[in-house]
Amino acid sequence: MFREKRELRIPGPTPVPPQALRALSKPLIGHRTSDFSGILERTTQRLKWILGTEGEVYILASSGTGAMEAAVANIVSPGDRVVVVVGGKFGERWSELCKSYGAVVDEIVVEPGRAVDPDDIRKALQSGGETRAVFITQNETSTGVEHDVKAVAAIVRETPALLIVDAVSSLGAIEIKMDEWGVDIVAAGSQKALMLPPGLGVIGVSSRAWQVIEKCKSPRYYFDLIACRENLKKSTTPFTPAVGMFFALDETTSMIEEEGLEAIYRRHADMRDMIRAAARAVGLELFAEDAVASRTITAIKGDGTFDVEKLRKRLASRYGIEVAGGQEELKGVIFRIGHMGYMDRLDMVSTWAAVELALLDVGYRVSLGAGVKAAMEVMARCEY
Ligand SMILES: *Cc1c(COP(=O)(O)O)cnc(C)c1O
């Protein structure tokens, strides 16, 4: 039986382009070979460009959380004070990780749907003693909010504290300029805007971070960044890398190079604007404020007249579109449409058409085409 094509509109995994899928089926090569070293050098170089750093980038065999753990294990010594911005699920993850490594965690709790006020970070750094690092999520996937990493970096860099950023759902879709802004460590993963299956962790490390890494007292083995550094000098990795995934990373980073970072950032901003206009046009409220709305994921509130979880199920079973629900206390309250990676403006039109059909199916009063029209009107004004 013919089944609807499956379209991933969740915040990872995301659609993988055909070039990368083809690369994944290539026969493997040994990782201690000059061929593999060539791929490692090339992909590392491109990731450095995407991160905007002359520092180092390491590609780990892990999911995004592995890169986050690598950051914590190499920076946080037991008893260190850290400041963590908690505006949702992924801010909480930083907090939990830091506690696991014995940090004294000062949380800046931000109301879901809002971004952190950089002034609150200034205050936290001025009080409470010496701070090892500030941890923040560039794009809080659970609420669809972007925190202003550039503004936060300007404050943190005036102090001895390091700035550590979770860019798992933003790298390759939302700009980050590590060196220019003053970001010390960035953690990311492969299955979001980098257009790959899950399995690679990416960690960018500034030169300033090494002084802390070298003195860090936390135990580490698999995620020892010093071992990564020494091996990368010889164009290799400490352990067996995910060789097949590197073939695919070679393809997707080359696609990113071809499209150009500015065009990619604009495409994601346009997709966000289209989905937000569409949701409003059918009378649904958005969870995040406009000024801080995520370019890679939009959280939309139910209005209480329909079952949000039923809507999601209907979207998947009838129309082949997978969207995400809310996590924990937001379950049943919001649904989240992922628009990151291998998708474009026109995809948002069909995505929203399916949302309208499914809304109708679950009993929400929608005039078919109202949101689609609004999205198309935004698209008509897009310059690209
Ligand atoms: C997806 C995500 C992660 C977790 O990545 P895993 O690959 O599931 O380990 C971390 N942070 C953010 C912001 C994410 O969106």
State whether the beta carbon of 11 lies less than 6 angstroms from ligand 1: yes
Domain with CATH 3.90.1150.10 in the chain: 7-13+260-380
| Element housing 301 (H / E) | strand 297-301
Please count the CA atoms within 13 angstroms of the CA of 32 that sit on its side-chain side. Answer: 4
To test ligand 1's pocket by mutation, which of 139, 166, 168 has the most ligand atoms within 8 angstroms of CB? Answer: 168
Q: Percent helix, strand, coil in the chain (nearest 5)?
A: 45, 15, 40
Residue 301: both structure tokens together:
């509130």
Instruction: Judge contact between 287 and 80, C-beta under 8 A.
Output: no
To test ligand 1's pocket by mutation, which of 85, 135, 166, 185 has the most ligand atoms within 8 angstroms of CB? Answer: 166
User: Of all protein residues, whose CA lies closest to atom 12 belonging to ligand 1?
Assistant: 168
User: Of all protein residues, whose CA lies closest to atom 2 belonging to ligand 1?
Assistant: 168
State whether the beta carbon of 64 lies less than 6 angstroms from ligand 1: yes
Flag whether pLDDT at 350 surpasses 70: yes
Cα 156 to averaged position of ligand 1 atoms, centre (Å): 24
CATH class of 7-13+260-380: alpha beta
Measure the CA angle with vertex 81, ends 80 and 84; round to 5°: 125
State whether the beta carbon of 12 lies less than 6 angstroms from ligand 1: yes
Cα 69 to averaged position of ligand 1 atoms, centre (Å): 12
Flag whether pLDDT at 7 surpasses 70: yes
| Cα–Cα distance for residue pair 72/203, rounded to 1 Å | 11
State whether the beta carbon of 138 lies less than 6 angstroms from ligand 1: no
pTM value is 0.97
- The predicted pLDDT at position 25 comes to 98
User: Which amino acid belongs to residue 152?
Assistant: V
Cα 291 to averaged position of ligand 1 atoms, centre (Å): 23
Model confidence over 163-222: pLDDT tens digits? 999 999 999 999 999 999 999 999 999 999 999 999 999 999 999 999 999 999 999 999
| Element housing 83 (H / E) | strand 81-86
- The predicted pLDDT at position 4 comes to 77
Model confidence over 33-47: pLDDT tens digits? 999 999 999 999 999
Cα 33 to averaged position of ligand 1 atoms, centre (Å): 31
Cα 52 to averaged position of ligand 1 atoms, centre (Å): 21
- The secondary structure of residue 286, as a DSSP letter, is B
Q: Tell me what the mean pLDDT of segment 100-110 comes to.
A: 98
- The secondary structure of residue 293, as a DSSP letter, is B
| Cα–Cα distance for residue pair 121/349, rounded to 1 Å | 39
Flag whether pLDDT at 98 surpasses 70: yes
User: Of all protein residues, whose CA lies closest to atom 10 belonging to ligand 1?
Assistant: 168
Cα 289 to averaged position of ligand 1 atoms, centre (Å): 22
Q: Tell me what the mean pLDDT of segment 78-107 comes to.
A: 98
State whether the beta carbon of 15 lies less than 6 angstroms from ligand 1: no
Atom of ligand 1 nearest to the CA of 137: 13
Domain with CATH 3.40.640.10 in the chain: 18-258
Atom of ligand 1 nearest to the CA of 68: 10
Is residue 128 very low, low, confident or very high in pLDDT (cuts 50, 70, 90)? Answer: confident
State whether the beta carbon of 341 lies less than 6 angstroms from ligand 1: no
Atom of ligand 1 nearest to the CA of 201: 7
State whether the beta carbon of 131 lies less than 6 angstroms from ligand 1: no
Q: What fold is seen in the domain 18-258?
A: Aspartate Aminotransferase; domain 2 (3.40.640)
- The predicted pLDDT at position 2 comes to 61
Residue 250: both structure tokens together:
């070679």
Cα 273 to averaged position of ligand 1 atoms, centre (Å): 23
Atom of ligand 1 nearest to the CA of 190: 7
Flag whether pLDDT at 87 surpasses 70: yes
- The predicted pLDDT at position 231 comes to 98
Query: Measuring CA to CA, which residue among 331, 234, 248, 252 is closest to residue 50?
Result: 252
